[in-house]
Chains A and B, each alone.
Chain A
Amino acid sequence: MSNFWIVNMGAAALLIGIGLYCLLTMRNTVKLLIGIEVIAKCITLALIATGWTKHNLLLAQSLVISVIVVDVAVLATALAIIIRINRHTKSLDVRKLTKLKG
C-alpha cells in the first residue's frame, strides 16, 4: 500500500513539474491554460491517492469534485478573457498583452 501511494505521488510530482514548465516557458495563452489544467490533474490525483491510502476516500472524492467545479469556472472565465483579448490584438501571444504596462 505504501509503495502504491509513493508511485501515485511520484506521478503527481511529475505532472506538477510539466505544468510549471508549461507556465514558465510557453507564450501561447491557451497553452498556459493547458498547463494550469495539468497542475489541476496533479492535485486531484494526489487527493485521491492520499484518500485511498488513509481509507478516507469519500472525503477525498468530495474535495476532488470541489476542485473540478472551481477549475471549470476558472477555465471558462479565462477562455472568455482570451477570446475577448484575441479580438483586439488578433494574437494569442502573451507578450503582446502590454496595455497595462506603465
Chain B
Amino acid sequence: MHLSLLIGLVVFSILAVLLQDLLKAAISLAAASIFLAVVFFRMNAAYAGVFELSVVAGLITVLFITAIALTRSEDPLREGKFHRLLFPLFFLALVVIDVLVMKSLLGRIPALTNPEAGTFGEVLWKERSFDLIGQIGAIFAGVLAVLALFRPSGKSSQGDKHE
C-alpha cells in the first residue's frame, strides 16, 4: 500500500513536469500533494499531512491556476521534443543510480533516539519558537513583495517618465 502511494506520488510528479498544458500540470502537482499527504497520514504525521493537503494541494494549486489565468503568451511556448524523448533515459539512469545508492545505505540507517515526550504544540511553540519568528518574517516578506509587484501602475509609469 505504502509503495503504491509512493509510486503514485512519483508518477504524478512526472506528469506535472512533462505535461505541456500548464493547467493539467498544476492539477497533477495537486494530485501528487494528495498522495504525499496520505503518506504522511499513514506515518502518523497528521499535522504535516493536514498542512500538505490544505496549503500545498489547495493554496499553491490556486496560486498556480491564478497565475496561469493571468498570464498569456503570444506565441504558444512548446518545450522541445528532445527533452521529452530524453526523459525516459534520464529516469532509467536515475532509478538505477537510486537503487545502487539505497542498497549501499542499507547498513547506515539513522540511529534511534529516545522517543519524544510532550505534544506537537509543545515542540512547535517551545523548542522551535525561533522558527516561528522566521516563518512570520517570511510570510510578511512575501506579502510585501506581492504588494510591491502589484502596486498601481500609474506611479511606476510616472517614475519611468521622470527617468
Contacts and interface: CB of A to CB of B under 8 A. Distances in A.
A33 B71 CA distance: 14
A7 B109 CA distance: 12
Contacts of A35: 17
Given A30-B22, A77-B146, A90-B72, A68 B55 contact: yes
Contact of A86 (B9, B71, B112): B71
Interface residues of B, number: 81
Interface in B70-84: 70-75, 77, 79, 83
Contact of A48 (B22, B48, B64): B48
Nearest to B39: A45
A48 B138 contact: no
- Main secondary structure on B side of the interface with A: helix
Contacts of B119: 58
Contacts of A15: 9-10, 13
B52 A44 contact: yes
Contacts, number: 235
Interface of B: 2-3, 6, 9-10, 13-14, 16-17, 22, 25-26, 29, 32-33, 36, 39-40, 43-45, 47-48, 51-52, 55-56, 59-60, 63-64, 66-68, 70-75, 77, 79, 83, 86-87, 90-91, 94-95, 98-99, 101-102, 105-106, 109-116, 118-120, 123-124, 127-128, 131, 134-135, 138-139, 141-142, 145-146, 149-150
10 contacts: A4-B2, A34-B29, A44-B52, A55-B115, A56-B113, A58-B119, A68-B52, A72-B63, A83-B67, A90-B74
